[in-house]
Amino acid sequence: MGLTRTPLFATHVAAGAQFGDVDGWLLPAQFRTVEEEAAEARRGAVLFDLADHAVIDLVGPDARRFANGMFTNNIRDLAVGACNRSAMGDEKAKLQGLLSVARVGEEALLVVLDGVAAAAFVERYEKFILFDDVELSDRSEDRVVVHLAGPGGAEVLAAAGLPVPTLGQAVAAADLWLLGRDRGVTGIDIVVPTTAVTELWAALRAAGAGIGGSEALEALRVRAGRVRWPVDMGERALVHEMRLVEECCSFTKGCYLGQEVINRIDVMGQVAKKLWGLRMVEDAIPPVGAEVKLGDEVVGSTRSGVREGGVARVLAVLRKAAWKPGLVVDVVAAGRTVQGVVEDLPFAGS
């Protein structure tokens, strides 16, 4: 089965994109070098195509109450025009995905999924809708997401005549929704009708935005220590292990799936493993799942990795024995051992 093309495919071809596979989508991997695109995003404003991110509507009088019982953050108390990040968990609090939720009306929520397929999301949560007055709809065919990253985003939006949301805000502009969202640097997710995305992209480019590919966005994300589902988590990860508690969890909102386990871990203040960074001694990115060893002891495994500026940086889930910045560990893959230096997250210089 072939890759799904983004609605912006022709636009990217004309701009000289090199394409790659992102969760089954054919998306730009690079327009220039990763270093050039990431540097521009850190100092200015860069557009990224997030056509692989599904869009869901939750509408009805019980929409907030229903979502509040399903996800880890406080959806019940979101004001109209507010948004937050949340995690999907099962009854044992094992992570099943990540999402952004915006309250876009009195009885309407807009959801942007991260790494979770729309069909899987709908199948999972429709079974929980029993007596709730709420309708769950996949809107991915008629809406697409683009991301404007960088401190210059506000200037670009203003030049294009669009409002500027801050982190935690969701603002409307005609048929667009703009959500304040950090994907490695300060930025904005823009949810736009599929039929209007080419025009919007051109308008933001004319207003001064650069363009970037998935590899630069990964570089921003990894250096900021932000996890991505499912590559960084697997099927048994917990929010505390993935450093998601502060951003994605509420401890005052009442009951939700996995709440008991999450609360117990928070009270005890202990997890056996946690996400850390590894700065590789050689300019080589180990495969996901490579063993991390301290002497003869296996103390963890690798997750996402990026190469930028001649340095390979890797996210790794490590056990307590390796929670020491500056510690040198061995990363073993395919019979080869490469050393890495443990760093706290975000990586220094992010």
DSSP reduced 3-state for 63: helix
Residue 248 domain-assigned? Answer: no
Residues 285 and 305: beta-carbon distance below 8 Å: yes
Domain end among 138, 155, 172 = 138
Residue 267 domain-assigned? Answer: no
Residue 123 domain-assigned? Answer: yes
Compute CA distances 20 → 203, 226, 229, 321, whole Å: 25, 21, 18, 37
Residues spanned by the domain of 180: 4-54+141-223
Q: How many CB atoms lie within 10 A of CB 118?
A: 18
Question: What string of DSSP letters covers 47-91?
Answer: EEE-TTS-EEEEESTTHHHHHHHHBSS--TTPPTTBEEEEEEE-T
Number of compact structural domains in the chain: 3
Domain end among 223, 238, 257 = 223
Question: Do 200 and 83 belong together in one domain?
Answer: no
Distance of CA 191 to the CA centre of its chain: 15
Per-residue confidence (pLDDT) for residue 350, from 0 to 100: 66
Per-residue confidence (pLDDT) for residue 334, from 0 to 100: 85
Question: Do 131 and 149 belong together in one domain?
Answer: no
Per-residue confidence (pLDDT) for residue 1, from 0 to 100: 59
Question: Do 38 and 11 belong together in one domain?
Answer: yes
Question: Do 169 and 127 belong together in one domain?
Answer: no
Residue 216 domain-assigned? Answer: yes
Question: Do 195 and 312 belong together in one domain?
Answer: no
Per-residue confidence (pLDDT) for residue 235, from 0 to 100: 72
Question: Do 45 and 183 belong together in one domain?
Answer: yes
Residue 235 domain-assigned? Answer: no
Question: Do 202 and 316 belong together in one domain?
Answer: no
Closest by CA to 246, choosing from 264, 276, 228, 226, is 226
Question: Do 48 and 147 belong together in one domain?
Answer: yes
What is the domain-level CATH number for residue 170?
3.30.1360.120
Residue 67 domain-assigned? Answer: yes
Tens of pLDDT, residue by residue, the chain (350 residues): 589 999 999 999 999 999 999 999 999 999 999 999 999 999 999 999 999 999 999 999 999 999 999 999 999 999 999 999 999 999 999 999 999 999 999 999 999 999 999 999 999 999 999 889 999 999 999 999 999 999 999 999 999 999 999 999 999 999 999 999 999 999 999 999 999 999 999 999 999 999 999 999 999 999 999 999 999 987 789 999 999 999 999 999 989 999 999 999 988 878 999 999 999 999 889 999 999 999 999 999 999 999 999 999 999 999 999 999 999 999 998 889 999 999 999 999 86
Question: Do 156 and 122 belong together in one domain?
Answer: no
Question: Do 97 and 73 belong together in one domain?
Answer: yes
Per-residue confidence (pLDDT) for residue 2, from 0 to 100: 86
Does a cis peptide bond (omega within 30 degrees of 0) precede residue 346?
A: yes
Question: Do 14 and 42 belong together in one domain?
Answer: yes
Residues 335 and 269: beta-carbon distance below 8 Å: no
Question: Do 108 and 42 belong together in one domain?
Answer: no
Per-residue confidence (pLDDT) for residue 270, from 0 to 100: 80
Domain end among 223, 241, 257 = 223
